[in-house]
Structure 1
Amino acid sequence: MIRGKSLYDFPIHLGLGATAVAEPEFNGMDWYEATIGAIRATWTRDES
């Protein structure tokens, strides 16, 4: 039997076009800070 990584420990982000991207290992609030920080860095603000 082939064993993969636990989805509980290594969440998967389902992106556009049905792509699955493995996230870093979940370790609590540090994971949230890093993940949300990376997402926020990609946001742009329309100031027009």
Structure 2
Amino acid sequence: MATLAQDYIVQDISLAAFGRKEIEIAETEMPGLMALRAEFGASKPLKG
């Protein structure tokens, strides 16, 4: 399988810390979502 290089344009990198904090909040406030992530994360069912 070939590896594809992807370029990304980040509009405002200063928002990265805020985004990470939002993800951490979601991880604590949405235990059902985290359970699904743990169960299906490795198989990546939505890939592609």
Compute the TM-score of the two structures, normalised by the length of structure 2.
0.30
More strand by share: 1
Q: Which has the higher contact order (CA 8 A, sep 6+)?
A: 1
Compute the TM-score of the two structures, normalised by the length of structure 1.
0.30
